[in-house]
Amino acid sequence: MPLSRLMIQQFRNIKACDISLSSGFNFLIGANGSGKTSVLEAIYMLGHGRSFKSSLTGRVIQNECQELFVHGRFLNPDQIEIPVGINKQRDGTVEVKIGGQSGQKLAQLAQVLPLQLIHPEGFELLTDGPKQRRAFIDWGVFHSVAAFFDAWGRFRRLNKQRNALLKTATDYRELKYWDAELSHLAEQIDAWRADYVAQIKPVAEALCQSFLPEFEIQLQYYRGWEKETLYQTLLERNFERDKMLGYTFSGPNKADLRIKVNGTPVEDVLSRGQLKLMVCALRVAQGQHLTSLTGKQCIYLIDDFASELDSERRKRLADCLKATGAQVFVSSITRDQVDDMCMSDSKLFHVEQGRIEQG
């Protein structure tokens, strides 16, 4: 669902900004340190409630200021403008407004503004541990299964309680009661994730293949514990080991999306540019799948568009994004790197020392 307007206040080096947006491509052009990534960070905060660069709100709020604001208007499927906003203060207070109503939850923001971020460190999705790939799967499940958010939250709380109990328990029977509910949630979460990966797999593999035709790419879901074993049976069997470790070793909190290229883990085969292309393919595939499943369009945030990609690969990515019909924000240091992406409905913004002006 595209944003038609964006207002940012006291966010990094942006004192105040109020811009009308294109529901197609929006380009942010400016020198190093001018504030391009900060604009994308602000949009990301509107959809996720947090920054993608820092977990400390104090770093994001403008120096010498007490609070930041990001407000936007998005167009709902009936083309009606709905205001959304987030206010964060140095003392940790967060206020979310949707449709003029205060006291809304961050998850509701995420629901109305699905976002996909592609940034220069994004290849960590493929090269780092499973946490980010789990987040990738869960983004899809969150947007397609309404009950997932609560179930995952409950699982994490119960898992924490179990880990605390493990430290004092002397007999498995002390955990059995907790494990029954934990297992029920684990099996449910696993079923949703497996189902989502089965749906996204053909779309993602085909798009990865079209971006990197020289490789054969395979995605495989790993649920976090061995196949064909009930989670409750596994917990009982591993009680002594988990007790020794002081935490529950296996489970949905260890799930992963394993990605191989010609049968070898991606990070051992692909160059940095190729890794970036693959991340783009995975993120765009996820957005396309969301649209086909729910009719919702996600917003793409592409930071430092030109980095790592040659002109041919940039064109391939741009064409693919155009074909989605989604709203796209692209940051770039120079205009010539995005010139051939401009269309009649695109908007270009110059960013200079925290000021954003339409060019």
Ligand X SMILES: Nc1ncnc2c1ncn2[C@@H]1O[C@H](COP(=O)(O)OP(=O)(O)OP(=O)(O)O)[C@@H](O)[C@H]1O
User: Binding-site residues for ATP, please?
Assistant: 30-37
The yes or no reply on residue 122 touching ligand X (CB under 6 A) is no
The yes or no reply on residue 337 touching Mg ion (CB under 5 A) is no
What is the spatial distance between Cα 159 and Cα 182, in angstroms, rounded to a whole number?
Answer: 7
CB of 12 to Mg ion, least distance (A): 10
Q: Which amino acid would we find at residue 259?
A: I
- Whichever of 265 and 359 has its CB closer to ligand X, that residue is 359
Length of the chain: 359
**Which residue of 13, 132, 163, 324 would you call a contact of ligand X, by CB under 6 A?**
13
Contacts to ligand X from residues 307-346, by CB under 6 A: 333
What is the spatial distance between Cα 73 and Cα 7, in angstroms, rounded to a whole number?
Answer: 9
Instruction: Identify the sign of the CA torsion 6, 10, 12, 14.
Output: positive
- Whichever of 162 and 314 has its CB closer to Mg ion, that residue is 314
Closest CA to 126 of 282, 326, 313, 329: 282
Axis crossing angle, helix 272-294 with helix 311-324, rounded to the nearest 10? 10
Closest CA to 327 of 302, 357, 292: 302
What is the spatial distance between Cα 69 and Cα 71, in angstroms, rounded to a whole number?
Answer: 6
**Candidate ranges 2-10, 32-40, 44-52, 138-146; the one touching Mg ion (CB under 5 A):** 32-40
The yes or no reply on residue 51 touching Mg ion (CB under 5 A) is no
The yes or no reply on residue 37 touching Mg ion (CB under 5 A) is yes
The yes or no reply on residue 286 touching ligand X (CB under 6 A) is no
The yes or no reply on residue 144 touching ligand X (CB under 6 A) is no
Contacts to ligand X from residues 21-60, by CB under 6 A: 30, 32-38, 59
Partner that binds at residue 33, options Mg ion, ligand X, none, CB closer than 5 to 8 Å by kind:
ligand X
Residue that has been written with the tokens 């998850």 in this structure: 107
Strand-pairing partners, residue 18, are: 7
Distances (CA, A) of 84 to 11, 78, 105, 113: 17, 16, 12, 10
**Candidate ranges 33-41, 49-57, 63-71, 255-263; the one touching Mg ion (CB under 5 A):** 33-41
- Whichever of 32 and 170 has its CB closer to ligand X, that residue is 32
The residues binding Mg ion (CB under 5 A) are 37
Give the footprint of ligand X on this chain (CB under 6 A).
12-13, 30, 32-38, 59, 62-63, 304, 333, 351
